[in-house]
Amino acid sequence: MNLRETSFGEFLKPSQIIFDLKSRDKLEAIEELLDSLVRLKLISNKNLTLTRIVDRENLESTALGHGLAVPHARVDTEGQIAVAVGRSAEGIDFDAPDGQPVRLIILVVWNPSLPGLFNHLFAGLASFLIKPENRFRLFNTRDKEELHAVLSEIRFSFPREDKIINRASLLKKLQDIEIRIRRAPKDKLEELQKHRNLIREELDQSLLARFDLLMDRYGYAVAEVVDGVCRSCNMSVSTQMASAIEESNDIYVCENCGKYLVAARKEKVAREKVEKARKEKPAARAEKAGKPKETARKKPVRK
Ligand SMILES: [Zn+2]
């Protein structure tokens, strides 16, 4: 896979660490950390982020045991990822599996345009935090800078920039997998379903609800835009929308047929144009030679 190795320090500055959390309560502590992210302009929508984090906590506490917790949410951040760390000397009740109060909170908010990011980050965190000597060092730092230095030792693999895909192409990917699942042999099914669930985790409920509806009704939900034309209904989309689809991470819907629109991959468009020109050539040559068009058309069409 196309990954690059990086350190947790790349996303965590000392200013993102609260060495002595004032809060003694789980929800308040999360809010305290979010407030600091708002102040640092790393997130803009505190309430939405809080709701997502609390929803996730209600599903199952993100406390790992051993005094650690990693509350997280996938929300449109200002950047790609926003991390805040809070330490509490007294500890906070986090409904931990081992019942221990949490003394270090690592809060992660990441952008939906980075599918699977949290899994990569979490794998790095887990392999570091599982070692008792690393936890000992984390809990025994004397100040923010020292804590930052220890946390910066955490390594993880991060998807390369060019692997970052937007939500529209995630929808397209999901559609491809749903179609493959329909005719998959039993032994491939489990893997495909796992892949499907991973992608679904990265997409908002409202997007998915509409996606499922379209898949049910038409067998597909996402249409490519080629030369400004929706491939599903063959109607032009506005020039403005066509260029936005190319450039932004927002989701667009065809005003005519209601499908989700995704920019066609450039190399694919180029290949199709070559193919089209190749097919048209015999007819064009026949015309030039003064032969009637009909003769050219009767030639067997190569596929
Ligand atoms: Zn359309």
> Could you tell me the distance, in angstroms and rounded to a whole number, from the CA of residue 171 to the centre of ligand 1?
16
Structure tokens at 200: 């679904």
> Could you tell me the distance, in angstroms and rounded to a whole number, from the CA of residue 22 to the centre of ligand 1?
54
> Could you tell me the distance, in angstroms and rounded to a whole number, from the CA of residue 158 to the centre of ligand 1?
36
> Could you tell me the distance, in angstroms and rounded to a whole number, from the CA of residue 260 to the centre of ligand 1?
8
Topology classification of domain 3-163? Mannitol-specific EII; Chain A (3.40.930)
Determine the pLDDT at residue 124: 86
> Could you tell me the distance, in angstroms and rounded to a whole number, from the CA of residue 235 to the centre of ligand 1?
6
> Could you tell me the distance, in angstroms and rounded to a whole number, from the CA of residue 212 to the centre of ligand 1?
17
Give CA separation, 130 vs 120, 136, 194, in Å: 16, 11, 26
> Could you tell me the distance, in angstroms and rounded to a whole number, from the CA of residue 277 to the centre of ligand 1?
25
Give the total residue count for the chain.
303
> Could you tell me the distance, in angstroms and rounded to a whole number, from the CA of residue 40 to the centre of ligand 1?
42
- pLDDT tens-digit profile, the chain (303 residues): 456 788 899 889 999 999 999 999 999 999 999 999 999 999 989 999 999 899 888 878 889 999 999 999 888 777 778 999 999 999 999 999 899 999 999 999 988 766 567 777 887 888 899 899 999 999 999 999 999 999 999 998 765 544 344 577 788 889 999 999 999 999 999 889 888 887 887 777 778 888 999 999 999 999 999 989 999 999 998 888 888 887 766 678 888 898 999 888 765 666 777 777 777 665 555 555 554 444 444 444 444
- Say how far apart CA 196 and CA 191 lie, in whole Å: 9
Assign 231 to helix, strand or coil: coil
Determine the pLDDT at residue 295: 43
> Could you tell me the distance, in angstroms and rounded to a whole number, from the CA of residue 148 to the centre of ligand 1?
51
Other residues' Cβ atoms within 10 Å of the Cβ of residue 59 = 8
Q: What beta strand segments (E) does the chain contain?
A: 3-7, 17-18, 63-65, 68-69, 72-74, 81-92, 102-110, 155-159, 222-226, 229-230, 252-253, 260-263
- Say how far apart CA 133 and CA 242 lie, in whole Å: 54
> Could you tell me the distance, in angstroms and rounded to a whole number, from the CA of residue 206 to the centre of ligand 1?
20
Give yes or no for a contact between 69 and 63, defined as CB atoms under 8 angstroms apart: yes
Determine the pLDDT at residue 109: 92
Cβ-Cβ contacts under 8 Å for 45 (sequence gap 6 or more)? 75, 76
pLDDT, tens only, 23-55:
999 999 999 999 999 999 999 899 999 998 998
**Cα–Cα–Cα angle for 265, 266, 269, rounded to 5 degrees:** 90
**First CA to last CA across the chain, in angstroms?**
34
> Could you tell me the distance, in angstroms and rounded to a whole number, from the CA of residue 222 to the centre of ligand 1?
9
> Could you tell me the distance, in angstroms and rounded to a whole number, from the CA of residue 232 to the centre of ligand 1?
5
**Cα–Cα–Cα angle for 147, 65, 103, rounded to 5 degrees:** 35
Domain boundaries, the chain: 3-163, 167-264, 268-298
Cβ-Cβ contacts under 8 Å for 60 (sequence gap 6 or more)? none
DSSP 70-97: --EEE---SSSEEEEEEEEEEEE----T
- Residue type for 127, please? S
Give yes or no for a contact between 146 and 138, defined as CB atoms under 8 angstroms apart: no
CATH number of 167-264: 1.10.287.1490
